[in-house]
Structure 1
């Protein structure tokens, strides 16, 4: 059932059709938001998510948008605004991971991870800011690898997520005069398509002997959107069950 407090509010989720992104879309819809979200490769999953939100009594809009393309990113923001009006919250979840030790990473993989995980995050926020209400919220999805990796092959991914954690601090100051908060959620191992092939390994390494459910990450995002989180900005919250302690 939709939260009456949030009815009439709008959220835009970049990278929302699967995994953590889909869990965020569903949680925000349950909390009463009209939710626009982007997808890039799975129109079937995007359509199914729109139907699932409708079944919850909510409204969702799926927008095809490539996070490496500035014009595509801008289109997503304007499409969300055209459908639902001024935006209350923006969540930037779009990201990619390609493993490789320093001698193995191709220039193409390096450029793609930087384009999506850093440039795309900044451009998504930049495109959305003019359409955000004063007092609105911005949340990025980073990673617990900022605190430590523990195994080789993730240096590029780690640097992109460290860039996001640093970026939110500067953006928080830029947007503070409008009382727009900017915060970062850093998930640890989570049950998604990406981790499906090595869940047992991750579970064994985890202090809690489990991985997160995507809904737990969505819950952290929902916290940053609450009225009583209005004084929290420039922060990074790690959710990894003690994985990087």
Structure 2
């Protein structure tokens, strides 16, 4: 457990979201609502589940391309968890990372990969659980700036919009850095989407724009479901590693 001084400082930065107050504390390092699916199974395992407040996970990369991810998805997931521990004084954390563009170096042939990392800075344990080829809805295309065009309507239908929110940028984020001022995320209504399409088309190289699924978990229920599936695998791993009821630190 953290010292009283550390716990006092950390209390200003964290919020308990599930689990017993005397359980072994673990952070879920997210700013996109993943505690909704990860906290319940962790609480059932006996953890006191905490959420770091104002913790910016986007500093290690965004799907929209305005912040490039340093290193691999595995490295980013582990680093998110480590930074959350250091920022709050809580020695254990879980973080997530997803790759939905070509990731052939680590996962040859995979269409996508969803990862969850666990870090215990007291015991020194670190591990990552992952699953590939999950049914997260991720579609993208280069389309005209005409909401009523067949191309746009077909893509939105395949996306499951507006339940799955849309993201609009001038160019494909997979091809390079996108300026933050031209990133439009979480689009769920026609006026907002049309305005974003017009703005991005005016900034693009060919008068068209890049339209794709918003992959942030709180904007894409299908990705949240994928995170939940990997979460089940992570909880099984934690139990095998010695975390559970009665809770104890793994050796």
TM-score (norm 2): 0.38
Query: Which of the two has greater helix per residue?
Result: 1
* Structure of greater Rg: 2
